[in-house]
Every structure is written in C-alpha cells, then in structure tokens.
Amino acid sequence: MSGPIGWLPLAGGYAAVALLVYRRALTGGYVSDDLGYLASPWVRHLDMSALAAILDPAGAPAAYTANYAPLHLVAHGLAFRAFGDAFVAHHVLNVLLHAACATLVAALLTRAGVAFAGAAFLGAVFLVHPASVEAVAWISQLKSVLGLALACAALLVEPRRPALAAVLFAAALLAKFQAAFALPVATVALALERPLRAPRGRRALWLGVWALALTAIAAPQLEAFARLGLVESAAPDGLAARARFAFALLGRYAAMAVSSGGVSAFHEPAAPAAWGDGWVVAGLAVAALAGARALVTLARRDVEAVFWVWAAAALVPVSQLLPFQYPMADRYLYFALPGLLGALGLALRAPLARALDDPLRRVALAVPALALVVAFAVRSEARAAIWRSDLALARDAAAHYPEGIPAQRLRAIDAAARGDVDGTVAALRAARARGFDRFLAVEHEPRFAALREDPRFRAVVAEIAGAWIDAVSTRPAPTPAELLMLGQAHRVRGEWDAALARLAEAAEDPGPTGARARAELATTRAARLRAGREGR
C-alpha cells in the first residue's frame, strides 16, 4: 500500500475529503484582501508588461502587496485567465493544492520512517485541521497552499534530484517567503541522513544554491515588507516586552495546533503585561520542552529532529520580531503544522509500533484516531462557511476579540442603523486607535450613507484618512497606486490642492492605475467646484 499504487488513492481520497469539508466555502466571493489581489491590474491584465512589473523587485506590485511574491501574482493571473470571476474554480484550486500538500507531507513522513498508515493519518489531520481553513478557504491565500506544496515537493525530491529541488525551493520562496523554512530542514536532514542517497558534496553544493536563492529573494521581500507591512506601533516597546509577546504567541499557536482551540479570523491578542501571563508561561514551557527534545534527537542523529527544526523555522518569520498589524493568524500556523505533526508522530513511533502489534490495541487506537479526524473535519466544515462573506468574518473576529477592529466596525454600523452618530464616531475612533486606516472602506460603506454629511462623521473619516497619509508620507518614492490613494485621502479631508497634485502624479502612469487616476482627477476637480459653490 505504501508504493505508487497506494499514493494515488490516498491523494484522491484527500482531495475528495477536502472538497467535502470545504464545500460551504466554494461559492463564497472575494473577501477582505481578495479584491485587492484579484482586482489588481497586474492580475486582471496579465500580459508581458504586467509580467515585467510583477518580476521587478522594485516594481509597483511588490510595493502594492507588501511582498515580493511574483509567483503568487502570476498564479492568480493565470487562474483569472482560466476562470475569470468564477469563485468556485478559484476555491477548488486552493482546496486541491491543499490536498496535494497533505499528500506530500504524508510522503515525507514515510521517508522519515513513519509507517504508511501512520503517515496517512497525520496527513489527514493536517488536511482537516481547523487552523488550515484560513489558508485554504481564502482565495488570495493561494500563496500559502502553493508555497507549501512547492516547498514540500523540494524536500521530497532533494535526495535524488537536487537540481530540480533547488528550482522548486526558489519557486516556493517566490510564492510565499515563509517557505524559507525548507532550507534549514533540508540542511539538517542531509547532515543526519545515513546512508546517503546521493553524494554528500553534490547535494551540499545544491543546498548552497538554495541559500543563494534565499538571500537574493530576501532583499526585495524585506524592502517591500518594510514599505507597507512593517507596523512598529503594533509591537510592544522594548526588547523584553517583544520577547514576552513572542512567547505568548508561541503558547497560543501550540494550543491551536494541539486542540484547534483559539482559531479565529483576524486575531488581535493583547500584548502580555508580565512574564507571569498564562500564555507567556505556556510559550516558555513549549519552547523549553520542544527545544530540549530537538537537542536530544539531534544528539542521537534521529530524523525526528528534522521536524522540530521544521516547526521552529516556519514560526520564526511570524513571531513578531518584525511586527505587522495583525500579529497572529491561523494561516501563519499552516507552514509549521506539518513539522509539529511529524515531530509528535516520530516521537511516539516506538510505543505506537509496540501497541500496533496487538490486533485489539490496533482497534483501540483506530477509534480515537478516527474520532479526532472527524471532529476536526466537522469544525473545519463549519469554519469554512465564514469565508463566504466579509460580514461573517467580522462577526467571527468580533466574537473572539470583542474590542478589536472588526468588532468596532460592527459597532459603528449598528450605531449608524440606529441613527446614533456619536456611537458610530466613537466606535470608528476606537478602531482607528487600534491601527485601522482604511478610510475608503468607511467612505464607501453604504450603511453609513445617512451620516455622510454629518460634520462629526466627516471629522472621523478625515482622521482615518490622515492616519493613512501619515503612514504613506514616510515611504520613499510613492508608487502610482500609493499616489492615487494619497489623492483620495486628501480629497476626503477636503485638502483639494494636495489631492489634485497627488492624483496628477498618479495620472502619469501609463498603465491601468494611471487611467483610474485620470478619472479620479476629473471627479475631484468637479467636487472641488461644488465645494467652492457651497462654501466648504
């Protein structure tokens, strides 16, 4: 069953189960960041000019997305060419890639010495784990499932096809930089491997190529992230406070991995105030136990160490050492979860092997194993449904973080429905205090229409737009898309000269952004004339 004949049915079974679990997400439309990616001119008009811009490390797409991930945008562009706005097809693509990831994880575990049945079980846990839902059901997270699939494929073929593995690893990095975890995994695996499947020197040289690819891609990735993604205000002040926060996040991720407890849309955990915080203590305990186990297995040259390295290397980029607005997310666990599952599976392989020698014990173990998979699948099926709409996502986030940005936006909408202008303004200011700066989302929200001309409402929208202006003004050489947004932000604030100047600069772009800026420029000139006549 563990040969080629066994892997095809397993992959097909995983795909069928995944489609069943995610069926409620399949007809959902674009939510949250989806529109920004799928409606971007480079995706909608993927031609040679757009491709050149996508591949340019200093190009507008990298600045626009806060990531240098050209393969992600190219994949979306090709998918859009194939499917257009057929949401089902985009969702199915993510689900099938997720099933491929689960199959590759199972294959890597069998190569590490886990029996086929055990590897298939661990792959199934990853397949239906509720923490995976965000990465799979969110269309624009194609980068996560594609990046992990390519990284796992690189690790799988590396012993026999090191050149192909280097290409796959570079492609994984160009889909999502978190795939960098594969380099330390491959390095440790090579160091521990006995007997070698290929000459050590040749494979080590190719891993040097992996390192060169990582270095080359890291520079534009960090530059793009620093431009838009880096949010220093989201991190606690001081090294000790940041370390506490990192351990607290580790504790939360560990709980999520083991039990699926704590999964949520748009996490906003508070930074712990002291080292005695429960999540900090949990994170310190996890770090100590996992670190000790990793060192022991490394010392005895046990392949289990490879999977501890996998889990750690996948979590370091999202540990908030470089802070971003939402410091935690279910999808950040997606790359680490296979490592955790593999490490735990290999740690238990000896007692499990002894237990499985007895037919009665095999049945006794099969029942809770099946129950776990079914329980995770049922919860994932329910969570997949929230990725059908922005409102469902906001409600889920508000249920877990009642003082967070989505909760405050829902309060603002509820207050507006009651005609409570002061309540609406207070909720929007609370969201602004937590880092919310999407002024156009407020400006264009239809449920705020009745409040649109109230000076109190206009003032808070101007504050939110001002926060965006302050953030972008610090960036060198704004891109056309940023200039367009700056013009819109100044217009919202009634700063007509600045709005027209920024829009005129954006209008010089020869692409779709320039065309949109020219339309906005005409609209803004007309709005300025109206405001002048009305004395505003």
For residues 158 and 150, what is the distance between their CA atoms, to the nearest angstrom? 12
- Percentage of residues in the chain having pLDDT higher than 70: 95
Virtual torsion, Cα 131, 264, 438, 40, nearest 10 deg: 30
**Residue 5: alpha-carbon gap to chain centroid:** 34
Given a cut of 90, whether residue 61 has pLDDT beyond it is no
CB 161 within 8 Å of CB 169: no
Which long-range contacts does 155-160 make (Cβ < 8 Å, 24+ apart)? 155/108, 155/182, 155/185, 155/186, 155/189, 156/104, 156/107, 156/108, 156/111, 158/186, 158/189, 158/203, 158/206, 159/193, 159/197, 159/198, 159/203, 160/197, 160/198
Given a cut of 60, whether residue 81 has pLDDT beyond it is yes
- Please name which of 482, 182, 191, 424 lies closest in space to residue 311, comparing C-alpha atoms: 182
**Residue 422: alpha-carbon gap to chain centroid:** 35
pLDDT tens, 403-444? 999 999 999 999 999 999 999 999 999 999 988 888 988 988
Token pair of 418 as six digits: 């009651």
Token pair of 253 as six digits: 């991720």
Centre a 10 Å sphere on the Cβ of residue 497 and count the other Cβ atoms it contains: 9
pLDDT for position 479: 80
Given a cut of 80, whether residue 499 has pLDDT beyond it is yes
For residues 491 and 465, what is the distance between their CA atoms, to the nearest angstrom? 9
pLDDT for position 224: 78
CB 257 within 8 Å of CB 340: yes
Half-sphere exposure of 308 (CA within 13 A, CB side): 21
Helices 512-533 and 496-507: angle between axes, nearest 10 degrees: 160
pLDDT for position 4: 46
Confidence of residue 1 (pLDDT cuts 50, 70, 90): very low
pLDDT tens, 355-384? 667 777 777 788 888 999 999 999 999 999
For residues 463 and 449, what is the distance between their CA atoms, to the nearest angstrom? 18
Phi, psi of 197 (to 5 degrees): -90, -15
Helices 480-492 and 496-507: angle between axes, nearest 10 degrees: 160
Confidence of residue 487 (pLDDT cuts 50, 70, 90): very high
pLDDT for position 410: 95
CB 306 within 8 Å of CB 188: yes
**Average model confidence (pLDDT) for the chain?**
90
CB 12 within 8 Å of CB 122: no
Provide DSSP, 4-47.
HHHHHHHHHHHHHHHHHHTTTTTT----TTHHHHHTSHHHHT-S
Q: Is 310 helix (H, G, I), strand (E, B) or coil?
A: helix
Confidence of residue 455 (pLDDT cuts 50, 70, 90): very high
For residues 471 and 491, what is the distance between their CA atoms, to the nearest angstrom? 17
Q: Is 219 left (phi over 0), alpha (psi -120 to 50) or beta?
A: alpha
Structural domains in the chain? Answer: 4-388 (no CATH), 392-533 (1.25.40)
Token pair of 256 as six digits: 């999520």
Report how far apart, in Å, the C-alpha atoms of 131 and of each of 148, 329, 484 are.
Answer: 15, 9, 36
Confidence of residue 148 (pLDDT cuts 50, 70, 90): very high
Lowest mean pLDDT among 30-39, 286-295, 382-391: 30-39
- Please name which of 437, 442, 518 lies closest in space to residue 472, comparing C-alpha atoms: 437
Given a cut of 70, whether residue 199 has pLDDT beyond it is no
- Percentage of residues in the chain having pLDDT higher than 90: 67
pLDDT for position 233: 55
Q: Which residues, at least 6 apart from 288, have a Cβ–Cβ distance to it below 8 Å?
A: none
CA 369-372-374 angle, to 5 degrees, is: 110
For residues 263 and 131, what is the distance between their CA atoms, to the nearest angstrom? 6
Token pair of 144 as six digits: 């996560």
Task: Summarize the confidence of residues 314-332 as an average pLDDT.
Answer: 83
Confidence of residue 196 (pLDDT cuts 50, 70, 90): low
For residues 151 and 97, what is the distance between their CA atoms, to the nearest angstrom? 12
pLDDT tens, 213-249? 999 999 988 887 776 555 555 567 788 888 999 999 9
